[in-house]
Amino acid sequence: MLKVGDPAPAFTLLDDQGNKVALKDFKGKKVVLYFYPKDLTPGCTVEACDFRDAASLLKKKKAVVLGVSKDSVALHQKFKDKHDLNFPLLADEAGKVCEAYGVWQEKSMYGKKYMGIARTTFVIGPTGKIEHIFEKVKVKGHTDEVLEVL
């Protein structure tokens, strides 16, 4: 599992428009990299809309937001358009970035075990090192927590 102070694993993924986005593109900025389970679901929608609504505050902190799930580029585009999201959603369909960040985990619902994305947010500093990790994120109030550590 990654720890604060570790270099953030490099990646290049397609965004909701089909453009390549690499972590190195944001060198010199703070990156709020948040992993979420599924587009167009209630909790993920609340989390995305909270980040959308905090855009001006995040910009003041010189931070960019990147959302990552295993959903397709097309589904990301639909999610982004439906909720007027103002940050890139990255498609990790193969799950390699989820695995590199340790968020692809065994989960349990109604007694059934399955693999899925554990809702986790990483704050990555301008030099590419992890500055903060939020595990087992509770959606309500999460954006405020992120703003506090920025």
**Structural domain spans, the chain:** 31-149
Cα angle: 24, vertex 95, 23; to 5 degrees: 5
pLDDT on residue 78: 97
* pLDDT tens digit sequence for 60-95: 999 999 999 999 999 999 999 999 999 999 999 999
Average pLDDT, the chain: 96
**What is the pTM assigned to this prediction?**
0.96
Name the CATH superfamily housing domain 31-149.
Glutaredoxin (3.40.30.10)
Which residues are known catalytic residues? 44
Rg (C-alpha) for the chain, rounded Å, is 14
Instruction: Give the helix/strand (H/E) hosting 10.
Output: none
Residue 6 has pLDDT above 90, yes or no: yes
- Give Cα 32 distance to the centre of its chain: 7
pLDDT on residue 108: 87
Confidence of residue 32 (pLDDT cuts 50, 70, 90): very high
Cα-Cα-Cα-Cα dihedral of 116, 100, 120, 72, to 10°?
A: -60
Pairing of strands 20-22, 112-117: unpaired
